Amino acid sequence: MTGCPVTPSGSPILEMARRAAEYRAEGRRIIDLTLGEPDFAPPVHAVRAAQEAAARPLGYAPANGIPELRRAARRAVERDRALSYSDAEVAVGCGAKQVIFNAFFATLGPGDEVIIPAPYWASYPDLVRLCGAVPVIVPCSADSGFRLAPDALEAALTARTRWVVLNAPGNPSGATYSHDTLTGLAEVLRRHPSAMILSDEIYAHIGYAEGEYFSIAQVAPDLRERILLVDGVSKAYAMTGWRVGWGFGPAELVRRITAVQTQNCTQTATVSQIAAAAALEGPQGILAERCGTYRRRRDAALAILRQSRHLDTVEPDGAFYLLPRLASGDDLAAADTLLEAGCATVPGSAFGAPGHLRLSFATDLATLEEGCRIIVATLDGTP
Ligand code: PLP
């Protein structure tokens, strides 16, 4: 068959989750640390707004989002990141993923390049390939905190580069960028005016670092016309299944994104958009509260994993993943062995980080600790 330039093997994350579910169905106890899915309920005011809306007739809505959600998203980014966008500069889609796809589809052609720092969210390279373009992977080592360095960016940029992907806090590394590093990256990007910048900030509300969180859009306001800042309700508000995300960018790009959206799925469900607007406009206390919970889990997991002679784990600044490096270097074998021992993880190879494992701590503390103990005992060969 021709037509689709992505491998039909599907997501390695879902594959591990599927194998874990299969073992469970056989009656085996498996701790599942694979999925990046918050284990919290959505905010009650979001659910209530959806319930009320669902009882009314809801017809088709604008492809780039209902006005209430576009307004709520703009207010939220102003409140949280002191960034101000006009109504023409925001596009809503079925999750951050669709906004990214639409942006790539609207701008990429055959042979165009997209720079993706590794470790990366496993979808970026496939989204690029789906648009007929070429993912250019730039490895970022654990020693650099899994961050893209300005000189590595400079070396990867070519005349064909159409996008540079920045994702912070990163999936799967949890790394964020300091003001200084973003300033350095912006300096490089100024010398390459044909490259757009995708700033994927879907985990921006899940951060543990002492200092302030910075977006490249804040650090380099002069690059505003080249930045697409992407966010959504999936992670911060535990609303993955509601499928609402948005992007802020130049009006011309937003127009193109909307054109793709219109012929793709028309719009994301109106009831979900109403719920998302309520999540953004309602009380925000759960964000800090949940961050505290994630931080306790991160610290507990790190304390166990660091007992192992076979693992070296960088402390993540944000998101809800750990990316321990395996002394053995063989992540595929380790993930298999650990699954047999009762703990499902994802091999780092799925994220451009061979030799590492990704563990999600979006799971309750007791389960997480049990999973980490299985990992340490199995790798260290202790009962
Ligand atoms: N960006 C990153 C880095 C992610 O990890 C994910 C989901 O795992 C997404 C985007 C997709 O988010 P959404 O559910 O809004 O499509």
Tell me the CA–centroid distance for residue 375 and ligand 1, in Å: 26
Domain count, the chain: 2
Task: Check pocket membership of 200 for ligand 1, CB cut-off 6 A.
Answer: yes
Contacts of 336 (CB under 8 A, 6+ apart): none
Q: What are the residues whose beta carbons fall under 8 Å from the beta carbon of 342, sequence distance 6 or more? A: 28, 29, 30, 31, 374
φ, ψ of residue 76 to 5 degrees: the values are: -65, -40
For residues 254 and 299, membership in a common domain is answered with no
Q: Give the residue from 233, 260, 281 where a domain finishes.
A: 281
Domain carrying residue 303: 12-41+285-380
- Looking from the CA of residue 100, the nearest atom of ligand 1 is 10
Pocket test for ligand 1, best of 121, 176, 228, 230 (most atoms within 8 A of CB): 121
Which of residues 228, 256, 281 is at a domain's end?
281
Angle between helices 251-262 and 95-107 (to 10 degrees): 110
* % of residues, the chain, pLDDT over 90: 90
Identify whether residues 254 and 344 lie together within a single domain.
no
Q: Give how far Cα 174 sits from Cα of 138, 158, 199, 361, Å.
A: 17, 28, 15, 11
* pLDDT attached to residue 2: 59
Inter-residue contact 134 to 127 (CB < 8 Å): no
Residues 237 and 340 in one domain: no
Residues 112 and 82 grouped into a single domain: yes
36 lines ligand 1 (CB under 6 A): yes
Mean pLDDT (the chain) is 94
With a 6 Å cutoff on the Cβ, whether 363 touches ligand 1 is: no
- Separation of CA 202 and ligand 1 centre (Å): 6
- pLDDT at residue 5 greater than cutoff 70: no
C-beta 104 within 6 A of ligand 1: no
Residue owning the nearest CA to atom 5 of ligand 1: 171
pLDDT at 40 over 90: yes
Burial class (CB in 10 A: 0-12, 13-18, 19+), 180: exposed
In a domain, residue 49? The reply is no
Q: Find out whether the beta carbon of 38 lies less than 6 Å from any atom of ligand 1.
A: no
Q: 246-297 pLDDT, tens per residue?
A: 999 999 999 999 999 999 999 999 999 999 999 999 999 999 999 999 999 9
Residue 89 shares a structural domain with residue 178: yes
User: Which tokens belong to 311?
Assistant: 């693992």
Same domain, residue pair 250 and 376 = no
- Domain match, 122 and 171 both: yes
Return the CATH number at 144.
Answer: 3.40.640.10
- What is the structure's pLDDT at 10? 64
Contact between residue 157 and residue 299 where contact means Cβ atoms under 8 Å apart = no
Among 281, 304, 329, residue at a domain's last position = 281
Question: What is d(CA 34, CA 203) in angstroms, rounded to the nearest whole number?
Answer: 17
Nearest partner of 86 among 108, 98, 70, 107, judged by Cα: 70
The per-residue pLDDT for 14 is 80
CB 226 within 8 A of CB 189: yes
Provide the pLDDT for residue 368.
97
Residue 375 — pLDDT band, cuts 50, 70, 90?
very high
Report whether residue 125 contacts ligand 1, using a CB cutoff of 6 Å. no
Q: Does residue 238 belong to any structural domain of this protein?
A: yes
Tell me the CATH number at 345.
3.90.1150.10
Residues 88-101 have pLDDT tens digits of: 999 999 999 999 99
Q: Are residues 100 and 136 in the same domain?
A: yes
First to last CA, the chain: 49
Q: Is residue 378 within 6 Å of ligand 1 at its C-beta?
A: no
If asked whether residues 112 and 251 sit together in one domain, one would say: yes
Kindly state whether residues 130 and 269 are assigned to the same domain: yes
- The finding on whether 120 has its CB within 6 A of some atom of ligand 1 is no
State which of 11-25, 56-70, 201-215 shows the largest mean pLDDT.
Answer: 56-70
Output the CA torsion 377→380→382→383 (10° steps): 30
Same domain, 355 and 370: yes
Element (H, E) at 248: strand 245-248
Same domain, 147 and 35: no
Please tell me what DSSP assigns to residue 64. Answer: T
pLDDT at 6: 63
Among the listed residues 59, 94, 17, 57, the one whose alpha carbon sits nearest the alpha carbon of residue 261: 94
Question: Is 46 domain-assigned?
Answer: no
Nearest Cα neighbor of 364 from 256, 276, 259, 290 is 290
Give the predicted TM-score (pTM) of the model: 0.96
Rounded CA-CA distance 269/300 in Å is 38
Q: Is 175 exposed, middle or buried (0-12, 13-18, 19+ CB in 10 A)?
A: buried
User: Would residue 52 count as lying in a domain?
Assistant: no
